[in-house]
Amino acid sequence: MQRHLISAADLTRDDAILLLDTAEEMARVADRPIKKLPTLRGRTVVNLFFEDSTRTRISFEAAEKRLSADVINFSAKGSSVSKGESLKDTAQTLEAMGVDAVVIRHGASGAPYRLATSGWIDAAVINAGDGTHQHPTQALLDAFTMRRRLVGRDAGIGRDLAGRRVTIVGDVLHSRVARSNVDLLHTLGAEVTLVAPPTLLPVGVETWPCEIAYDLDGTLPKSDAVMMLRVQRERMNAAFFPTEREYSRRYGLDGERMARMPEHAVVMHPGPMVRGMEITAEVADSDRCTVVEQVANGVSMRMAVLYLLLGGNEPAVTHTRPPAAQQSAGERSAHTFDTAEEK
Amino acid sequence: MSRILIRGARVLGGEARDVLVDGETIAEVGTGLSAEGAEVVEADGKVLLPGLVDLHTHLREPGREDSETVLTGTRAAASGGYTAVFAMANTFPVADTAGVVEQVYRLGREHGYCDVQPVGAVTVGLEGQKLAELGAMHESAAGVTVFSDDGKCVHDAVIMRRALEYVKAFGGVVAQHAQEPRLTEGAQMNEGVVSAELGLGGWPAVAEESIIARDVLLAEHVGSRVHVCHLSTAGSVEIVRWAKSRGIDVTAEVTPHHLLLTDELVRTYNPVYKVNPPLRTERDVRALREALADGTIDIVATDHAPHPHEDKDCEWAAAAMGMVGLETALSVVQQTMVDTGLLTWEGVADRMSFAPARIGRATGHGRPVSAGEPANLTLVDPAYRGEVDPAGFASRSRNTPYEGRELPGRVTHTWLRGKATLVDGKLA
């Protein structure tokens, strides 16, 4: 594992599987009456949110608290960063207060990368979504959800998603979720197809490790998982598509379309859903839709990320250990939780 | 006035010659010239060029003296071998009146490091709505001949047409910053494979090419000349090549950074690589070099764009666009064009002195190195190799993309009308 989690593309297959397996162990903790581990006791994590995002912040906060970290929430609303205090000053202020990890959500693509690589701070940086670039923990929790549903909770341990067919539908152009998912799913051996109107696919997408299709109906029967992306209504004002109605007709998922999917196939959505736009209520509320499960899995997944990046109870580990040796974090993880669990 | 003997220099990269400067003028070029009464500069192995002329510099004064002033900018110019620079109009206030251009012009003359030829804005406040008083700026002491809204595109086709027509009356030229504004809303980098991955707003090549195509056709229609600023794409090269083959009076410039760097560097999210137009692809870089070699692109211009540290020490989206370039331009051109065999030193003299002086009508600059000509000269040591250290820059700003990069060649001496502005690499 690396010191920071900036992009899903930085994860090797082994990294990813270690993270998924660790998240399964974390999930077991959630099934217990006392859902807390002492793992990060005495460590401070700041949730530095420059963009509004209630669900992601709460998910990280829940994960941090279950690991007994001290949590600071810092929300700098809007995009006034460049006007007032700089990202650098904000980060340095927080580090001066003794922060071990920074979970950052920022509207500017690359802001977490800058934070991690500019020598501004020493803390571990976890990307909680940057601009239209990456959202690696979302991709991890999605992969976790897919592995559970398509491979099996126990059967999935140690395994990847080889051969599973994942279709991602919607506003790929503006989606960090799509980018992260394409990277991680490819690493895990899944076959990804992006479906969108050509206006909502970036120029250059043809080099991504996935297939591109404009026709949803043709793709659905060949999908093990269909991930619907949120489509903001205001996109139609910039001529990305003519009307909301036409968008849902061509790219929305309703009951009729869902019926074309294989029996075992699941419907996913990173949330928040725009019901009536990319997904109908019938689909959103069906058993095949994993939206709520994804939220629950998000907490376990983020616990795994924090645990592996911050090296459990060994404060010096992440700052001094050479990268080559960090792989061994996983060997520890297998036994640490049960013994360290609070009674 | 003093006499200087530059001994054994390869004039324009040719055979070794002695060049005798007397006062403001070159007195004699030959071999075995007498050093009597003259200060001798040994130039064995060095290349003597006419003083370089930059058609595209941002000196920032008035208004942004925290990033550059006429003094610091012209010192940087002298360090880079320049004897004349054209100062862009996007200052605060904008150089759209005779008063502002005269101020900038006079500051340049007073400091004496490098002639400053102000560029006048095409439209009032660079707003693209109403023509600035182009004639008044031309008739002022600054004698403005180049007009540009650089930083912004004169996107309204009618305003562009009128400007092209109007400046014909006094031999002016409009230098267009070709950027279709609607296609580049929120643009952060070249649109392509890298922007798709990085999730940064794309600046498509077509936004530049469509404006250049329109402008060369407008120039043909009204019989004016037009100059294209910082041409950056392979497609733009094709359009300019076509226009020239049709006899359209178009000239074009390329920056040193577009000759060397590509958008792959943006993967670092380091805003030192953020520039407008953006760094393009390897394919574009190759096309630009070939076009500069074959003359489709007429000149190299720096687009020297100083910014204070804090405007680059931030996340990509919040950072200012632009790079300093005066002090590294010749080295980059040597590496990309001379050392690759694409251009001779004579060619460098043309692209960096003769041609820009001709386009900008800079009298006394871009002249041959021969007896009777003004002694605007640059002496280069092409054998030098060294890492770029921004701490040593004369510019007030440090936003160079070449920090730590090894570049060939070094300007050792610059003379402005016989007066040394740079001696042994140190400002006089």
A109 and A39 both lie in a single domain: yes
Comparing alpha-carbon positions, the chain A residue that sits nearest to B269 is A110
Average pLDDT (B168-193) is 97
| Distance of residue B363 Cα from the nearest chain A Cα, in angstroms | 44
pLDDT band at B1 (very low <50, low <70, confident <90, very high): low
Domain boundary among A270, A293, A316: A293
Closest CA to B297 of B253, B335, B239: B253
Measured distance CA(B38)–CA(B27) in Å, rounded: 12
Backbone angles phi, psi at B251, to 5 degrees: -125, 160
Has residue A334 been placed in a domain? yes
Q: Which of A29-38, A199-208, A304-313 has the lowest mean pLDDT?
A: A304-313
| Distance of residue A207 Cα from the nearest chain B Cα, in angstroms | 7
Q: Are strands B377-387 and A211-213 parallel, antiparallel or unpaired?
A: unpaired
A118 and A14 both lie in a single domain: yes
Q: Which of A1-5, A44-48, A266-270, B371-375 has the lowest mean pLDDT?
A: A1-5
A140 and A284 both lie in a single domain: yes
pLDDT for res A279: 96
Structure tokens, B144: 């403005």
pLDDT band at A232 (very low <50, low <70, confident <90, very high): confident
Cα distance from N-terminal residue to C-terminal residue, chain A: 30
Of residues A89 and A136, more confidence is placed in A136
Measured distance CA(A11)–CA(B39) in Å, rounded: 65
Average pLDDT (B63-73) is 97
Element of type H or E holding B198: helix B193-198
pLDDT band at A77 (very low <50, low <70, confident <90, very high): low
Q: Are strands B202-203 and B189-190 parallel, antiparallel or unpaired?
A: parallel
Structure tokens, B81: 């071998």
Of residues B39 and A332, more confidence is placed in B39
Count the domains in chain A.
Answer: 2
Residues of chain B with pLDDT > 70, as a percent, come to 100
Closest CA to A205 of A179, A228, A170: A179
Has residue A3 been placed in a domain? no
A200 and A170 both lie in a single domain: yes
Average pLDDT (A84-100) is 86
CATH of the domain at A83: 3.40.50.1370
Has residue A242 been placed in a domain? yes
A68 and A176 both lie in a single domain: no
Measured distance CA(A1)–CA(A7) in Å, rounded: 12
A225 and A214 in contact (C-beta within 8 Å)? no
Given a cut of 70, whether residue A329 has pLDDT beyond it is: no
Name residues 31-60 of chain A within 8 A of B (Cβ).
none
Helix pair B234-245, B282-294: axis angle to 10 deg: 30
| Percentage helix, strand, coil for chain B under 3-state DSSP, each rounded to 5 | 35, 25, 40
Q: What's the whole-number average pLDDT of chain B?
A: 97
Q: How is domain B52-360 classified at the architecture level of CATH?
A: Alpha-Beta Barrel (3.20)
Given a cut of 60, whether residue B252 has pLDDT beyond it is: yes
A183 and A239 both lie in a single domain: yes
A–B interface: beta-carbon pairs under 8 A: 81
A22 and A114 both lie in a single domain: yes
Given a cut of 90, whether residue A91 has pLDDT beyond it is: no
Q: Which of A49-53, A140-144, B236-240, B384-388 has the lowest mean pLDDT?
A: A49-53
A289 and A309 both lie in a single domain: no
A288 and A306 both lie in a single domain: no
Backbone angles phi, psi at B146, to 5 degrees: -105, 130
Average pLDDT (A137-142) is 98
pTM: 0.92
Q: For the residues of B385-408, what is the DSSP string, one character each? A: EEEB-GGG-SSS----TTBT-EEE
Verify whether the Cβ–Cβ distance B315 to A114 is below 8 Å: yes
Residues of chain B with pLDDT > 90, as a percent, come to 100
Place of tokens 């620079």: B85
Verify whether the Cβ–Cβ distance A131 to B200 is below 8 Å: yes
Facing A81 at nearest CB: one of B199, B269, B318 = B318
A228 and A284 both lie in a single domain: yes
Given a cut of 90, whether residue A335 has pLDDT beyond it is: no
A92 touches chain B (CB under 8 A): no
Verify whether the Cβ–Cβ distance B318 to A208 is below 8 Å: no
A305 and A328 both lie in a single domain: yes
pLDDT for res A76: 75
Verify whether the Cβ–Cβ distance A114 to B269 is below 8 Å: yes
Residues making up chain B, counted from first to last: 428
pLDDT for res A334: 37
Measured distance CA(A289)–CA(A283) in Å, rounded: 7
Has residue A150 been placed in a domain? yes
Given a cut of 70, whether residue A66 has pLDDT beyond it is: yes
pLDDT for res A83: 52
Measured distance CA(B341)–CA(B362) in Å, rounded: 29
Measured distance CA(B181)–CA(B166) in Å, rounded: 24
Amino acid, single-letter form, for residue B83: T
Is B298 tagged catalytic?
no
CATH number of B3-47+373-427: 2.30.40.10
Q: How far is CA B194 from CA A198, A204, B97, B200, B263, in A?
A: 18, 7, 42, 9, 7
A27 and A57 both lie in a single domain: yes
**Angle formed at CA B219 by CA B215 and CA B225, multiple of 5 degrees:** 110
Q: Which of A3, A66, A105, A186 is catalytic?
A: A105
ipTM > 0.85?
yes
Q: What's the whole-number average pLDDT of chain A?
A: 88
Verify whether the Cβ–Cβ distance B315 to A106 is below 8 Å: yes
**Domain range spanning residue A97?**
8-135+297-340
pLDDT for res A87: 87
Best A104, A109, A176 residue to mutate vs chain B (most B CBs within 10 Å): A109
pLDDT band at A325 (very low <50, low <70, confident <90, very high): very low
